[in-house]
Amino acid sequence: MKKHNYSAGPCILPQEVFEKSAAAVLDFNQSGLSILEISHRSKDFVAVMEEARALALELLGLTGKGYQALFLSSGASLEFLMVPYNLMKTGGKAAYLDTGTWANNAITEAKAFGETVVVASSKADNYTYIPKDYTIPVDADYFHCTSNNTIFGTQMKTFPKTNVPMVCDMSSDIFSRVMDFSQFDLIYAGAQKNMGPAGTTLVVVKEEILGKTGRAIPAMLDYQKHIKAESMYNTPAVFPIYVSLLTMQWLKNKGGIAAMEKENEAKAALLYNEIDRNPLFRGTVAKEDRSPMNAVFLLEDESHTAEFDAMWKAAGISGITGHRSVGGYRASMYNALPIESVQVLVDVMKEFEKKHNY
Ligand SMILES: *Cc1c(COP(=O)(O)O)cnc(C)c1O
């Protein structure tokens, strides 16, 4: 039986994407070849890459606005390093907002390149809220933020107005909500949270911000080299990119990000209402900063952990055990998770409450 998959990443993908991917492994486009054995320079795969790059920009509303989409290898964590490499001037400085573990990792990498100003941090409160009052130095080469904090379950609802180029790690909420994406100059997202399988990272960058650092950049880390090579500077992650394309096509057919956002809001409301209503559970973060993607919650009485765990496992739920830095539970409700799965979890929480005679 197919599980209700709440995994934080790699995560659930649409069933039809699994089916089409499986078919392409056996015979891609009736070519008599598997997608796993074709050349990345073959006409069929070049078409996949072109469509994936164009569709990413289309879904974000960035077509024709001076942006390039790249599908790079080696994860969002490499972007922590590529961003300062490509954007921080020699002797320049960068500004970062510290909202969680991933933001912190990005800050650590930037520090190796130059002056790195942390404009605000919620670390002292174990990242249970998004800092809102801060000033971005006007002479920073860029400002970096994390739109959704996967581990702690917070999300930025608004972004600062600044003349400094804005860089955003959207790994865990890309394509999940409507935004003016043109307020960002560089967006990146590891595919495995909300866009596809592990193995590729989407980078969307406004070309005009590149090439200004005065720094020698190794080819594989140079966005301009990847753009020039049309995201094929080296052998790209053929299969993860194909599966990401199928997921983006699924999203477009559903009505794009606007339709997705409605579903995500309904799923989040269903679960958070139960967390707030049910006296046996408690949310961990400031309500106004709650993430619709990753809901983090605790049992009021941890001595009931084994009992509750047995109940959700019996209901076919997978992957809601919390991250070690918070404990408790984390229910990740990415785009492909159906609302029916959320209802199953809510029903288990209600059943658990009944057993305890509230
Ligand atoms: C998972 C995650 C990362 C790290 O992604 P990798 O592809 O594993 O390097 C970075 N940022 C955020 C917000 C994440 O959720």
Measured CA to CA, the distance from residue 244 to residue 24 in angstroms comes to 13
- DSSP structure class, residue 12: -
Q: Whose CA is nearest to atom 3 of ligand 1?
A: 76
Q: Given the CA of residue 172, which atom of ligand 1 is nearest to it?
A: 15
Q: Ligand 1 pocket test: which of 7, 154, 172 has the largest number of ligand atoms within 8 Å of its C-beta?
A: 172
Which entry of 102, 173, 185, 289 is annotated as an active-site residue?
102
Say whether 296 sits in a helix, a strand or coil: strand
Task: Kindly state the average pLDDT of the residues 211-229.
Answer: 96
Q: Given the CA of residue 75, which atom of ligand 1 is nearest to it?
A: 7
Q: What is the pTM of this model?
A: 0.98
Q: In the annotation, is 312 catalytic?
A: no
Q: At what angle do helices 256-277 and 238-254 cross, to 10 degrees?
A: 80
Whether residue 186 contacts residue 169, with contact meaning beta carbons closer than 8 Å, is answered with: no
Hey, how many other C-beta atoms are within 10 angstroms of the C-beta on 42?
A: 15
Which entry of 193, 206, 267, 312 is annotated as an active-site residue?
193
Annotated domain spans of the chain = 4-9+256-355, 15-254
**Fold (topology level) of 4-9+256-355:** Aspartate Aminotransferase, domain 1 (3.90.1150)
pLDDT digits (tens, 9 = 90+) for 7-50: 999 999 999 999 999 999 999 999 999 999 999 999 999 999 99
> Would you say the CB of residue 162 lies under 6 angstroms from ligand 1?
no
**pLDDT range class, residue 358, cuts 50, 70, 90:** low
> Would you say the CB of residue 169 lies under 6 angstroms from ligand 1?
yes
Q: Token digits for 18?
A: 């699994």
Q: Whose CA is nearest to atom 1 of ligand 1?
A: 171
Which entry of 169, 185, 222, 289 is annotated as an active-site residue?
169
Whether residue 242 contacts residue 260, with contact meaning beta carbons closer than 8 Å, is answered with: no
Q: In the annotation, is 347 catalytic?
A: no
> Would you say the CB of residue 190 lies under 6 angstroms from ligand 1?
yes
Reference 173, options 190, 194, 201, 152; nearest CA is: 194
Q: Whose CA is nearest to atom 14 of ligand 1?
A: 171
Whether residue 91 contacts residue 215, with contact meaning beta carbons closer than 8 Å, is answered with: no
Say whether 229 sits in a helix, a strand or coil: coil
CA of 74 to the centre of ligand 1 (A): 11
Helix, strand, coil in percent for the chain, rounding step 5? 40, 15, 40
Q: Whose CA is nearest to atom 5 of ligand 1?
A: 76
Task: Kindly state the average pLDDT of the residues 136-149.
Answer: 98
Task: Kindly state the average pLDDT of the residues 160-186.
Answer: 98
101, 165, 252, 344 from 262: Cα distances, Å: 28, 30, 14, 19
CA-CA-CA-CA torsion sign (309, 191, 52, 148): positive
What percent of the chain clears pLDDT 90, i.e. is strictly above it? 98
Q: From its phi and psi, is residue 258 left (phi > 0), alpha (psi between -120 and 50) or beta?
A: alpha
Task: Kindly state the average pLDDT of the residues 57-77.
Answer: 97
Q: Is the pLDDT score of 273 beyond 70?
A: yes
Q: Is the pLDDT score of 86 beyond 70?
A: yes
pLDDT digits (tens, 9 = 90+) for 89-114: 999 999 999 999 999 999 999 999 99
Residue 1's pLDDT is what?
84
**pLDDT range class, residue 74, cuts 50, 70, 90:** confident
CA of 147 to the centre of ligand 1 (A): 12
Identify the architecture of domain 15-254 in CATH: 3-Layer(aba) Sandwich (3.40)
> Half-sphere exposure of 130 toward its Cβ, with a 13 Å CA cutoff?
20
Whether residue 187 contacts residue 209, with contact meaning beta carbons closer than 8 Å, is answered with: no
CA of 109 to the centre of ligand 1 (A): 14
Whether residue 292 contacts residue 267, with contact meaning beta carbons closer than 8 Å, is answered with: yes
- In one-letter notation, the amino acid at residue 331 is A
CA of 213 to the centre of ligand 1 (A): 25
Whether residue 96 contacts residue 106, with contact meaning beta carbons closer than 8 Å, is answered with: yes
> Would you say the CB of residue 171 lies under 6 angstroms from ligand 1?
yes
pLDDT digits (tens, 9 = 90+) for 279-327: 999 999 999 999 999 999 999 999 999 999 999 999 999 999 999 988 9
Summary mean pLDDT of the chain? 97
Alpha helices in the chain (DSSP H): 15-26, 43-60, 76-87, 101-111, 191-194, 223-228, 238-254, 256-277, 305-314, 339-355
Q: Whose CA is nearest to atom 13 of ligand 1?
A: 171
> Would you say the CB of residue 150 lies under 6 angstroms from ligand 1?
yes
